[in-house]
Amino acid sequence: MKAFLIDRYKKGAALRLGEISAPELRENDVMIEVHAAGVNPLDTKIRDGEFKLILPYSLPLVLGNEVAGIVVRVGANVRRFKPGDAVYARPAQDRIGTFAEYIAIDEADVAIKPNNLTMEEAASIPLVALTAWQVLVERANLQKGQKVLIHAGSGGVGTIAIQLAKHLGAYVATTTSTANIALVKSLGADVVVDYKKDDFEKVLQGYDVVLNSLGKDTLEKSLTVLKPGGKLISISGPPDPDFARQNGSGWLLQQVMRLLSGGIRRKSKRRGISYSFLFMTANGGQLGQITSLIETGVIRPIVDRVFPFEKTNEALDYVETGRAKGKVVVTVK
């Protein structure tokens, strides 16, 4: 089968289009013929080697973290899916590889595709929607009437997180550029801070939760927005000791992450705020709940551009510009 691979970690390097063997089908797996694959900043970070300490892949590696397609075979123990089912998924972090013609994924990580979405739209959902769900529902336990700040509201995670937070009954603020104000308002944002004109930390106060997907400066400024007892949850780092333990990292790596996050954890503690890092995990059950929200119109995907499979490198380049509104997708079949 055809697949886009990396042979070594290198910042900004092009992926290699090559012919490789189809993946092994395990007893609990479904084999999916890939119709479309979502493209994410995570893909570029893995390619650049930013996660090689916490995600020790063997190379060469097929990239790609989101998929929509058709089940073509199932393992001996699979009961929830059958050949012909239209599905979507975020594969487990140790079994990525959606920039390919086929991928094998554990059935526990797969869900039936929403019936009102195209394959391209469906492929834009799993990673970002699961991230939003695991931050807002699981980690933050966001309640009706609470105030949440979602940074980068026009990005992949932001566009879904705004809609989910509104569904949960929260009051939603977001940051974006002038060009995307109308988009984030259409998704339900109550307050929009144009970062080109205003400093969010001077405009917002008394928030219960911040979802951070940006850099260190934004992370630290977010502390001033939160009230005591608030939660600062970052999906862009720095990783904390709790994450290191959950990830099964050894003692040395746990100490490295303790050091990396020491500054923000101390500053948070002084303000009575909890800091945590979240690296989303595959979960077909949660994705099934997200499907229900999509089919009832609560959440809609925002797809900026769709590239043909052979232009996967161009799709990655476009994601790296940081200008995409919502998601970028490649069509494989």
Same domain, 272 and 149: yes
Are 17 and 114 found together in one domain?
A: yes
- Domain membership of residue 102 (yes or no) is yes
Mean pLDDT computed over 120-134: 98
Q: Is 247's pLDDT higher than 90?
A: no
pLDDT for residue 328 is more than 90 = yes
Mean pLDDT calculated for residue range 158-172: 98
- For the chain, what percent of residues have pLDDT higher than 90? 90
Tally the domains of the chain: 2
Q: Which domain holds residue 110?
A: 2-125+301-331
Query: What string of DSSP letters covers 145-164?
Result: T-EEEESSTTSHHHHHHHHH
**Burial of 20 (C-beta count, 10 Å sphere; 0-12/13-18/19+):** middle
307 within domain boundaries: yes
Does 31 lie in the same domain as 89? Answer: yes
Phi, psi torsion values for 56, nearest 5 degrees: -80, 85
pLDDT for position 332: 97
Q: Are residues 268 and 196 in the same domain?
A: yes
31 and 47 both lie in a single domain: yes
Query: How would you class 297 by CB atoms within 10 Å of its CB: exposed for 0-12, middle for 13-18, buried for 19 or more?
Result: exposed
CB 232 within 8 A of CB 274: yes
> For residue range 226-236, what is the model confidence (pLDDT) as tens digits?
999 999 999 99
Instruction: Note the pLDDT of residue 260.
Output: 85
Q: How far apart are CA 93 and CA 306, in angstroms?
A: 24
How far is the C-alpha of 316 from the C-alpha of 333, rounded, in Å? 18
Q: Which two tokens stand for residue 242?
A: 């709790």
Note whether 262 and 132 are same-domain residues. yes
CB atoms near residue 57 (< 10 Å): 16
Q: What is the CATH number of the domain that holds 188?
A: 3.40.50.720
d(CA 208, CA 149): 8
The average pLDDT across 107-120 equals: 98
The reported pLDDT for the residue numbered 29 is 98
Does any domain span residue 176?
A: yes
pLDDT in tens, 26-78: 999 999 999 999 999 999 999 999 988 888 899 999 999 999 999 999 999 99
Q: In degrees, to the nearest 5, what angle opens at C-alpha 275 toward C-alphas 269 and 279?
A: 160
What is the C-alpha separation between 23 and 214, in angstroms, rounded?
Answer: 35
